[in-house]
Amino acid sequence: MKKLLLLLLCFSVLAVFGKNDPLQNDPRIFKLPKGLSPKDYIPNTLIVKFKKGISASQIRAATSVLKSNSLKLKSASIRDVKQVFKTSLQASSVQPLSSLPPKDTIGLDRIYEFNYSSARSIESVINEVLKNSLIEYAEPSYIYYTTYIPNDPLYTSSQTHLKQVKAEQAWDLIRSLNNGVINTRNIVIAIVDSGSDMDHIDLKSNLILPGIDLVGRSFSTEQIDFDPDVKSDSADHGVKVSGLASAITDNGLGIASLASNARLLIVKAAADDKGSAIYRGYEGIKYAADNGANIINCSWGGTGGGAFGQDIVNYALARGCLIIAAAGNHNQAAQDFPASYNGVMAIASVDKNDLKSSFSNFGDYVDLSAPGEIFSTANGNKYGTVQGTSFSAPLVSSAAALVWSRFPQFDWEQVMEQLRVTADNIDALNQGYSGKLGKGRLNVFRALTEAFPSVRYQQVTVQDNSNDSRSPGDTIRIFLDLKNFLAPASGLIVKLSSVNPNVQIIDQQVNAGNIGMKELRSMVGPFRVYIKPGTPDNQVVSFKLNYSANGTYNDSESFEIATALDYKNIRVNQVSTTMTSNGRIGYRNGEALNGIGFNYKGESLLYEASLLIGSSVSAVSNNTRNDASTYDEHFVKKVKVYKDTDPKAAFVGKSEFDDSGNPDPLKIYIKHKLTAFKDTPDDKYIIAEYEIQNRAESVLNDVYAGLFTDWDIAPGTSNVTKYDAAGKLAYAFGKFGTSPYAGVKLLNHTARPVYYPLSYMVQGDPTQTGGGVTIAEKYQVLSSGIKAESLGDNVPNGYDIMFVSGYGPFTIPVNGSIKVAFALIAGDNLSDIQASAAAAQNKYDEINRTEANVSADGFVLKQNYPNPSPDRTKIGFSVSRTGYTSLILYNSAGKAVKELFKGSLPQGSYTIDADLSELESGIYLYRMLYDGKEKTLKLILAK
């Protein structure tokens, strides 16, 4: 009998637990049922029930999110806990069956939902929880699915891409939360494109009427109206985009869309006769932003970027719009715009197998991928197959509408990041494109159900020990401003890496601690990075950031830093600028690249400042814009810009270059010196000096030297330039308002001044054709003296102005040199810059006292340097007017041993670079004869 009882008890035990895995003999060990995958339960979430009889204080201790939590979990960190059934929900119209309050005999009030972070599997976390004697059970928070499929007839047969991004699960979730309906009606998606089919049966009830047409029939007869309807099938790109963004779903017609019933604002930015050309795309973005759009879809792009597009993007972002753009269809990593603009979500394309589409662009600027070889609406109530990143983008826009309706408290950045961080990683399927297809392929169900942090850098700060040059041999320090857009990040770890062989990362990891939702953490770091000797000039180094937090969150992004710079940023007084190794000021390259411009009170005033030196209409060496819409790059670096020491100045920089980049060179060698001072009255200007040496085999005659400056004092197309002859000051200012003033002061006393105002907005101006200037025109503007007294002053709105200011003509002897100097000035008004101009003249005269005060004899002869000299020396002199000049070297016996120069020279200052290598060591005399007078100085040659 005892044996039979034992068998019965064993049978009873097996009956109780028989539905569990037969291998799971211990009821306190949890295993996921067979066939379940992560899509079948809410990630990082547990349903936990406490045992009967556990006190309230014990439950409070076990449900605390503090480190003192009594569960003492090692496999997970608890982020949030809530009681699932805190109160009983009951409709007020329903009469209870009993007057007595319901009695909880099951213990529903002891059930809690735990949200946690962990690198361990959900099974491991549950099993650790079950070891605690307080716990009755712990299990996942399961998701159960309906079998809802929209009744649109083409959904099942032609829209497999919606299944690919988990649309059905997403719809089921939204329906379960909204009484069986999908409602995104409060979200407006603007389609900035070629227009749409305003009568399409699968679009019409989702359209916000009337929409707008920003171009009209043809771009040549551009006209705005309120009819964005597509006029031909060949221009129906926007119709196809519209259907993917928000075709009416569950209407028994055509196709379905993720958003189902989001409203569409149609902004036609193409012409009727050329639907493939988006003429008014950025104007369309602004219109959409001004007229209630939440999401702006841009299924177009190109390689031409610029400040205008970014300005419009920034405007729309400031109004709370999410901008989603196609990454481009060129199968390349080159950036496409507007997708590459800051703040825009860039979308690449994948096929039905999650492989990169053959046409799709890729690269670090891509945020997300989505199917782009799909099926959509077409003009005339038709449907058809389409492919391109143009169609990946509206699929994401549609998903964004669904996410925004699910999380209405989110802003545009959070919607974008929620879509991005919940994407399915497809790197393993796309070898060779790892990290180049964004975070992965869109998974809209995950975007609706999962909670991750999203950490992105907002700013990179670089500190170095070489005056912003990041020179080889220097160790730079990188700091990051990090913002977390989504769920709190616990124990954030940031890792820095680079595959560039020119850098060595010393500090590869920083522990950033905890960062809450929407929290900005400034100056995280430093990451120390060693720039190796031999690093090429202006080497752009790509760095990768890896983020990890909460045990499950992993993300990455990239940024670039230019190292071994051959330019230096100068920020020592009230104006800041950049000195280069090729004679430019403000920027090393054309198009205002690589440098900080010329800034005053936080406002950039300068677009270009470049050096021109010419001796004829066919012989000008320069690095100024040319008539081919590019830049002459004649000046080639010989000595990279470096900071020199001078106790009298806050900054002294020097560089050297020649004109060997000119196919027809003057054969000149230039030494550039830039000086800045800290204290008033010298704190609103910098002095740029160029010493120009003739290394040709003959004398250079009729030489002119000047600075071409293009000023953009906001607004840049409404400026005025004038010339103050008494102060030899050319200046610019805005026509309207209280804009700053900026100018160029000529500092040489004895040279003839040059001022030539320019604007492509003036008929017949040298810059009118394409804004560029030919070699002949460059010599023209250099050699015309004072061309005019002003430009832009006598027209209502001013001009986009430029001017050349300089000196000439000069004669430069063989191995001789001249110096030209300019002060670049900024101030609040005309009197302010005039005062700085006078201060700059006084300072330059103080530095070069002998040049400013030519003696009563009409000339100055300077002591050679170095003295004693090894085998070469420099001899400087100045003449007050044109006259015959000779410079002869004599030995100690009075015998002439070398003729250094003989000929007529105009007024100016000169330097002879004398080669004495053939002479023996000893004491020599050099004698200058000028206008019937002479001077002699001693020279020591010590080899």
Contact 614, 607 (CB under 8 A): no
The DSSP code for 209 is S
The residues pairing with 744 across neighbouring beta strands, listed in sequence order, are 730, 824
Q: Which amino acid is at 593?
A: L
Whether the Cβ atoms of residue 519 and residue 455 lie closer than 8 Å to each other:
no
Does residue 840 sit in helix, strand or coil? helix
CB contact at 8 A, 462 and 526: no
Report the alpha-carbon distance of residue 663 to residue 63 in Å, rounded: 79
Helices (H) and strands (E) in the chain, counts: 15, 50
Distance CA 209, CA 207 (A): 6
What are the start-end ranges of the H helices in 262-388? 281-290, 307-318
**Residue 110 dihedral angles phi and psi, to the nearest 5°:** -95, 10
Q: If you ran DSSP here, which 8-state letter would residue 225 be given?
A: B
Q: Which of 193, 336, 555, 632 is catalytic?
A: 193
Q: In the annotation, is 634 catalytic? A: no
Question: Is 193 considered catalytic here?
Answer: yes
Rg (CA), the chain: 37
Taking the CA atoms of 410, 414, 419 and 422 in sequence, report the sign of the dihedral they define.
Answer: negative
| 497, two tokens | 């890496």
Sign of CA dihedral 145, 150, 153, 158: negative
Nearest to 579 by CA among 591, 566, 568: 568
549: left (phi over 0), alpha (psi -120 to 50) or beta: beta
Dihedral (CA of 201, 206, 208, 212) sign: negative
Is the alpha carbon torsion for 309, 311, 312, 316 positive or negative?
Answer: positive
> Which residue in the list 161, 200, 237, 634 is annotated as catalytic?
237
392: nearest Cα among 249, 244, 219: 244
Q: Is 542 a catalytic residue?
A: no
Distances, alpha carbon 505 to alpha carbons 364, 461, 535, 649, 850, in Å: 21, 16, 15, 35, 51
What one-letter code names the amino acid at 147? T
Q: What angle do CA 437, 442, 447 make, to 5 degrees?
A: 130
Task: Report the alpha-carbon distance of residue 244 to residue 264 in Å, rounded.
Answer: 11
Bridge partners, 477 (sequence order):
463, 528
Measured in whole angstroms, the distance separating CA 730 from the mean position of its chain's CA atoms is 34
What does the block give as tokens for 37? 């995958």
The DSSP letter of residue 666 is: -
Which residue among 194, 257, 299, 390 is the active-site one? 390
Helix (H) or strand (E) holding 935: strand 933-941
Spell out the residues 6+ positions from residue 10 whose beta carbon is closer than 8 angstroms to its own. Answer: none
Strands of 4-119 (E only): list them.
Answer: 41-50, 77-83, 111-117
Which letter does DSSP use for residue 97 in this model?
S
> Rounded CA gap, 214 and 697, in Å?
63
Judge contact between 469 and 565, C-beta under 8 A: yes
State how far the Cα of 368 lies from the Cα of 392, in Å rounded to an integer. Answer: 10
Element (H, E) at 173: helix 167-177
Return the closest-CA partner of residue 49 out of 126, 103, 101, 124.
Answer: 126
319 vs 518: CA distance, rounded Å: 18
Residues with Cβ within 8 Å of 103's Cβ and at least 6 positions away in sequence, in order, are none
Beta strand 322-326 pairing with 509-515? unpaired
Query: What are the residue numbers of the active site?
Result: 193, 237, 390
